[in-house]
Amino acid sequence: MNKLAPGATLDTVERPRAAVGTRPKTDQGVRIRGVDDLLVRFAKCCNPLPGDQIVGFITRGRGLTVHGRDCLTVAKSVLDRERLINVEWDVETPALEPPKRPVRIAVYIGNDRPGLLSEITGAIGSKNGNITKAEVTVTDDRRGINNFVVEVSDLSQLQDIMTAIRDVPDVINVERVRGL
């Protein structure tokens, strides 16, 4: 019998029904040992990227939801542990063009100045990141925070983008923000 999680078998875990027209599992970039044709979704609470450590959660009737292992939803035991399974990114079946995933980053500014936003967005573009949302807030003392949603293909690309932004003068810090 196929083991899904320690102590759980198909007898104790409800296997989700495959959705009609579901793409093969490798199109999503996630490999699930012993399970084929399962609808895969990515959790919006943690928004995992290829390269992040991940875990799968079998939902009732909606396939598998992929969370980051460090996701607060998983850590707080909000999810039924019996329905958690080990999954991994499929690095053996590269897609022709890796799917882009949205990720939110916060850029902290020490001193706002003309052209700073252009330099930050240029740093993102120089690493092939695509900005889909931007919110800029500057305080009276010229400090600020810029929030961006950027499409990236994996964790490595995100790290490259964040390094490029940190190199922009007057940027204090850059961090990934979980959830969208």
Mean pLDDT of 4-10: 45
Q: What is the percentage of the chain residues whose pLDDT exceeds 90?
A: 44
Residues 23-32: pLDDT tens digits? 344 445 676 6
Please report the pLDDT score of residue 21 as a whole number: 37
71 vs 143 pLDDT, higher one: 143
Whole-number Å distance between alpha carbons of 16 and 123: 42
Angle between helices 155-166 and 116-126 (to 10 degrees): 150
Task: Let me know: does 71 contact 178? Beta carbons within 8 Å.
Answer: yes
pLDDT at 109 over 60: yes
SS3 assignment, position 158: helix
Please report the pLDDT score of residue 62 as a whole number: 80
In order of their start, the domains of the chain are 3-89 (no CATH), 101-177 (3.30.70.260)
pLDDT at 36 over 90: no
Whole-number Å distance between alpha carbons of 165 and 120: 6
Mean pLDDT of 116-121: 98
The identity of residue 167, as a single letter, is: D
20 vs 105 pLDDT, higher one: 105
Sequence-distant (6+) residues with CB within 8 A of 151 are 100, 101, 102, 103, 129, 130, 132
Please report the pLDDT score of residue 14 as a whole number: 42
Whole-number Å distance between alpha carbons of 140 and 143: 7
C-alpha pair distances (Å), 134 with each of 69, 110, 146, 169: 27, 18, 7, 19
SS3 assignment, position 116: helix
